[in-house]
Amino acid sequence: MKSKMKIRFHILILICFGIVLSNCGLDLNIYDDPDETPPIVSITSPNSGDIVTGYVRIYATADDNREVDRVQFYVNEEVLGFDSASPYSRGWGSNNYANGRYDLSAIAKDNAGNETVSEIVTVVLDNPFKVYVTNNLEIPVVAVANNSDAKMLNASQTMSFELPTNPGTLQFHAESFSLSEDSLLIGSTLNWDIVENVITKARFEINLNADSSWVFIYVSNQTSYGIGPFYVNYGTALQSKDNIFFAPRTFLNMTGYYEARSGMVVRVGWENGPGFSYWVEGRDFDLDWTENQVVTVRK
């Protein structure tokens, strides 16, 4: 008798609990039959044929006879991510993708594991093309990419050129310059000419370096008199002469880039005097024969 009363009591509790949940507007989602019906899904934005740029928000609608669990978004076959709440959407940061046609799709899944793939939406990506240039020299350079305006990059500076669209072939030119206080060119001018097929790229990076055949020279004049003019590779066919002078007690005076040679000789005269000073590579300074090499000669 007690056993029957307990069973009836438990049944009564379950019935009352169900009434309470129903009155609260809660759906227990208890189904007797298996769910074999897949959801439906479609991308609503963007539309096929749209030209897109930058950050693209992809939207989709999805419905199911019971409940949609999530909608997963794709660019071509790459998973962007998923959204589990309506309205379903996902962002696509397209700046690192090459321009061209891309297929957008979505897969809706329900709680039973059924899934449906949306129809493909094909868009055209047409982002501006950026060229990032880093000047690793000790002096400024002037650079131009395709038909863009020329830009000056200071030493150790990075700057970008933005072209309206991918040019297919990148044509880049840069050249260094080092001027004295009297606007005289010091040392040699370094040039870079780059032609590159970039049709499959979203961006392009260029590092401007002086190879090991060049050396940049600083001069420290610790004396009480001025020195100059300035000769590099003195006494050879590569000899250069710059009419620059270094004031007394000045340190790390910039000159320019010169051809690096083993045993090269650097010479300065004594201002208002008959003497000269010499520095010889391997005796007074050493080259390390690497990119962007720098030496300092001291008087």
Is the Cβ–Cβ distance between 35 and 66 less than 8 Å?
Answer: yes
The candidate with the shortest Cα–Cα distance to 114, out of 156, 56, 70, 160, is: 70
C-alpha 262/C-alpha 215 separation (Å) is 11
pLDDT at 187: 94
pLDDT at 31: 58
pLDDT at 221: 94
pLDDT at 299: 87
pLDDT in tens, the chain (299 residues): 444 444 444 444 444 444 444 444 444 455 567 888 999 999 999 999 999 999 999 999 999 999 999 999 999 999 999 999 999 999 999 999 999 999 999 999 999 999 999 999 999 999 999 999 999 999 999 999 998 999 999 999 999 999 999 999 999 999 998 887 777 889 999 999 999 999 999 999 999 999 999 999 999 999 889 999 999 999 999 999 999 999 999 999 999 999 999 999 999 998 876 789 999 999 999 999 999 999 999 98
Query: What is the token pair recorded at 119?
Result: 């129809």
Beta-carbon contacts of 295 under 8 Å, excluding residues fewer than 6 positions away, are 215, 216, 217, 218, 285, 286, 287
The DSSP secondary-structure symbol of 164 reads S
C-alpha 174/C-alpha 45 separation (Å) is 43
Is the Cβ–Cβ distance between 106 and 71 less than 8 Å?
Answer: yes
Dihedral of CA atoms 260, 261, 262, 266 in degrees, nearest 10, equals -80
Q: What does pTM read for this prediction?
A: 0.77
pLDDT at 29: 56
Q: Rounded to a whole number, what is the largest CA-CA distance in the chain?
A: 130
Query: What does DSSP say about strands 129-135 and 141-145: parallel, antiparallel, or unpaired?
Result: unpaired
pLDDT at 32: 60
pLDDT at 30: 58
pLDDT at 183: 76
Is the Cβ–Cβ distance between 163 and 131 less than 8 Å?
Answer: yes
pLDDT at 6: 44
Cis amide linkage into residue 229, ω under 30° from 0: yes
The candidate with the shortest Cα–Cα distance to 128, out of 96, 169, 90, 173, is: 96
pLDDT at 184: 80
